[in-house]
Structure 1
Amino acid sequence: MITLICYFFSFLVEAIILWQYTSTLFVPKHRVRTRLFFLCALYLILFAISMLGHTWLNALLYLAANFIFLITMYYLKWHMALFHAAVLTAVMSMCELAVYSIIGRFAPHFFTEAARSHNIILFVVFSKMIFFTVIYTLIHFLREHKDVSQRHDKYALLLVFIPLTSVFVMLIFVAVGDACTLSPTLVLMITLSAVFLLFTNLLVFGINQYNLKKNMEFTEMQLLLQKEANAAEYYAMLLAQNENQSILIHDMKKHLQSIAILSDKKENDKIAAYIGQLMLSSDLKESARLCDHEMLNAILCRYKRRCEGSQISFHADIRHGTIDFIADNDLTSLFCNLLDNAVEAACGIPDAFIEVNTTRKANTPLSVISIVNSCRRNPFAGSQGNLSTTKPDKRRHGFGIKSIRKTVGSYHGDMQMYYNEDTLTFHMVITLKQQN
């Protein structure tokens, strides 16, 4: 019974290490729940087959299980999945051989009593501790090579001293157990201490990875907020330019009077210079009018020009007074993220279009914003109802949608998305509530 528990414990730790390795280095295809269920199923099969006691069969199945998990649950080519599965298998085997060698040197009588449950547990914990230490170090160097943007957390490598210290403590446990005759109570305490020591290491590194992930998300959100703040400043500048243009047009009568005076004096050179200055003025640049809301008009004009450059038909129908209650910074965040996603999806599609509409539900404080855009493929396909991305770096996406949800939530609104397979169009419908 003790041997069975030790085998189960061994496979549990190996599964945790594989989860840590894959979650840190690779981009997942499926949700956490799906990956966790598949990993548990694979390792339960490995545990059941290990009862047969065939060492080589266990090693080959361990390699196959890791390969299947990598190729099905993560965005990896088959040869890369096979490479990483082989690395994990080789490291695990070498760690167990190293433990045999170390224990044989410092505790020569250990293996003569290898059948004792105390020794079995110490061997399993010792070998998995070294396995975890090597894999954590490997994760650090592979991640640094894969993504230079994560080099800022290189000091996390110092955490490797925790499992190294634990390995040293484990070696002392083994040496004490080999040199002294211990009471059953003390043997139990040492065994439990070894098990708790291993789980403490796993917990510390799990918390560390969780904190790194949250810090990265926080940094990305801060960059997104900075981008939106810059966009708001840009659109404020456009509004100022439009105001200057209105002033210039208002003053055009005075400019014409000045030109008439110069004409009476036959000063043609000065007239040409005067007209040239007016023509070069940025205030005379053409400004489109898509809606009566100044900030939103500036945003829509910018994306209309962007769509024209990408051969995308752009149409906007913004009803009067439907979005006046939205603050300028929220308006910028909401519509810029919506239109960024729409333009990205519609680019490169023949006869692509984007339609933006805002309406007010009659006799309610609710405004409805709808965006329909061309989209060649279903963004929900293979992602369990979540939006997928076409961006090369799949880790760093989704912050635009998070920003949209945040803005919608601040106005007690609702957001719905769906894809129409018949028309190849993506639909986003947002309902916002005007506060009293």
Structure 2
Amino acid sequence: MERIGTNITTGKLKKNLIVAGYITISIAFSLLGNGIINLLILLIIPVIGHYLYNNLRLYIVYYTGFVVAEYLTDILSMMLLSLLFQHNILYFVSGQAYYITFLITVRFIEFIILKILTAIIRRRHHYQITWKQMASSFVLPVFSIINLLSMIFFLQVYISEEILLLLLLNILLLLALNIYFTSVFDIITKNNHLENELNLFRQQEVIQAGYYSTLEQKYDNTRKLIHDIRNHIQAMEHLYEDQKNEEGCQYAKDIHTMLNQLGQKYYTDNKILNIILNDKVQTMEALGMKPDIKISMVDLHFIRDVDITTLFANILDNAIEAAASSSEKQIILRVAMVHDFISIILKNSATLPPVKQGDTFRSNKEMHEGLGLKNVTRVVKDYKGDIQYEWGEQYFITRIMLAV
């Protein structure tokens, strides 16, 4: 349960003792073979989960769903084994062998069900788990079930105390192996998630480094301009004294242009978004584009800086790439409050149609995996939002709604 999210801090020793006690009681009562008692034992799981791991209402649903899935697994497994036994597909020399087979099979199937539910919840919470990774994590539990069934089947041919001890040892080793590989899979999943976060922080760091480098360069240009300002004023005075008004006006405009280039344009009171927009506008202007950006008074404090970077940097990068090869070279960005949502609309001119990839798009560049828009989709879902794309003649529109 801990692997699918926790918001409660409990002593590790206390938690382990309670869980170990529950497992011991569960195993002891399961040997009685009473379905009602087994169900009552399962119903303790939501209580343990609620008070030891996560007390959010959503997790009560998760824990209850797990109980239902485990109980149904018990019933369906019992029905399946009974059918196989009745049709002589499986044969047991004693009821004891049948019961041992039933218990072992059911427990491993329950283990697989738990892994499936955990994987689904992780994907819901946007951990980077591919379907291939999820499927590969079930190979060992399935192999364990087949292996144990085979051993129990051959055990009925010849049985001795030594063979029973070997069977018990095999069961314990397989159980330990499954737990170990589950832990390894969880570590790999967390590493993938952390690596993705690290890449996003690096992207933000590159943008900020470029921003501060630009500021430093503009500071040097400011010093040069201040040093030469007396000469510029004298030159303008001479032009007006010589009645060269047009040349004087043009000279003044040139000075204004130089001054404007020294400043950072203000788009929004959100510092990181302002940095991103200035950085991207500089790229647009260098490519001869016509950016049209308007940011209304919106409060973005609830969005992490790294998520703002992921969201705006990626959609703007894709827009710049598409608009650069178009004839109009136009990019329009609007951010505004619409009721209880923040609306983000980005429209860019485009000549080539976007490449569809599942529910999203990817770049037209070769060997481009479309990870940028996947990260954008992840951020939008994290903030309970919605993202839609529209492709029309010579333009592409990205619409994002974020819940406040």
Q: TM-score with structure 2 length normalisation?
A: 0.56
Structure 1 residue 285 displacement after superposition = 5.2
Q: Which residue of 1 aligns with 2:201?
A: 224
User: Does residue 59 of the first structure (1) align with residue 39 of the second (2)?
Assistant: yes
Q: Which residue of 1 aligns with 2:92?
A: 109
Q: Distance in 2 between matches of 1:159 and 1:221?
A: 25
User: Does residue 203 of the first structure (1) align with residue 163 of the second (2)?
Assistant: no
Q: Which residue of 2 aligns with 1:23?
A: 3
Question: Structure 2 counterpart of 1:125, which letter?
Answer: I
Q: Deviations over 1:225-281 (max 9, x none)?
A: 442343233212211111110100101112112202211221222222221222232
Q: Distance in 1 between matches of 2:133 and 2:259?
A: 51
Structure 1 residue 127 displacement after superposition = 1.6
Q: Deviations over 1:327-384 (max 9, x none)?
A: xxxxxxxxxxxxxxxx889xxxxxxxxxxxxxxxxxxxxxxxxxxxxxxxxxxxxxxx
Structure 1 residue 130 displacement after superposition = 1.0
Change (3 A) 1:124 1:215: same
Q: % of aligned pairs identical?
A: 18
Change (3 A) 1:267 1:35: farther
Q: Which residue of 2 aligns with 1:72?
A: 51
Q: Which residue of 2 aligns with 1:314?
A: none
User: Does residue 166 of the first structure (1) align with residue 149 of the second (2)?
Assistant: no
Question: Structure 1 counterpart of 2:244, which letter?
Answer: E
* Total equivalences in the alignment: 269
Change (3 A) 1:306 1:134: closer
Q: Distance in 2 between matches of 1:224 and 1:110?
A: 63
Matches within 5 A, 1:278-357: 278-282=255-259
Q: Distance in 1 between matches of 2:302 and 2:62?
A: 34
Contact 2:218/2:262 (CA < 8 Å) preserved in 1?
Answer: no
Q: Helix, strand or coil for the counterpart of 2:138? A: helix
Contact 1:248/1:283 (CA < 8 Å) preserved in 2?
Answer: no
User: Does residue 267 of the first structure (1) align with residue 244 of the second (2)?
Assistant: yes
Q: Distance in 2 between matches of 1:270 and 1:82?
A: 77
Question: Structure 1 counterpart of 2:128, which letter?
Answer: Q
Q: Which residue of 2 aligns with 1:246?
A: 223
Structure 1 residue 194 displacement after superposition = 2.5
Contiguous gaps of at least 5 residues in structure 2: 274-300, 304-380, 384-404
Q: Which residue of 2 aligns with 1:127?
A: 106
Question: Structure 1 counterpart of 2:64, which letter?
Answer: A
Q: Which residue of 1 aligns with 2:167?
A: 190
Q: Distance in 1 between matches of 2:81 and 2:210?
A: 67
Contact 2:101/2:149 (CA < 8 Å) preserved in 1?
Answer: no
Q: Which residue of 2 aligns with 1:86?
A: 64
Structure 1 residue 166 displacement after superposition = 1.8
Q: Distance in 2 between matches of 1:81 and 1:111?
A: 42
Q: Which residue of 2 aligns with 1:177?
A: 155
Q: Deviations over 1:140-199 (max 9, x none)?
A: 33433x145625464332221221122112221232233x13222123212321231222
Contact 1:263/1:271 (CA < 8 Å) preserved in 2?
Answer: yes
Contact 1:28/1:74 (CA < 8 Å) preserved in 2?
Answer: yes
Q: Distance in 1 between matches of 2:149 and 2:32?
A: 30
Aligned residues: CA RMSD: 3.7
Structure 1 residue 216 displacement after superposition = 1.9
Structure 1 residue 23 displacement after superposition = 1.2
Q: Distance in 2 between matches of 1:306 and 1:113?
A: 70
Q: Helix, strand or coil for the counterpart of 2:159? A: coil
Q: Distance in 2 between matches of 1:177 and 1:280?
A: 90
Q: Distance in 2 between matches of 1:187 and 1:51?
A: 18
Change (3 A) 1:87 1:110: farther
Q: Helix, strand or coil for the counterpart of 1:253? A: helix
Q: Distance in 2 between matches of 1:109 and 1:96?
A: 19
Change (3 A) 1:283 1:77: same
Q: Deviations over 1:270-313 (max 9, x none)?
A: 222221222232467579xxxxxxxxxxxxxx9xx768x9xxxx
Between 1 and 2, higher relative CO (CA 8 Å, sep ≥ 6) is seen in 1
Change (3 A) 1:258 1:149: farther
Which piece of structure 1 moves more, 161-170 or 69-78? 69-78
Q: Distance in 1 between matches of 2:302 and 2:164?
A: 64
Contact 2:128/2:192 (CA < 8 Å) preserved in 1?
Answer: no
Q: Distance in 2 between matches of 1:49 and 1:170?
A: 22
Q: Helix, strand or coil for the counterpart of 1:281? A: helix
Question: Structure 1 counterpart of 2:195, which letter?
Answer: F
Q: Distance in 1 between matches of 2:23 and 2:158?
A: 37
Which piece of structure 1 moves more, 199-208 or 181-190? 181-190
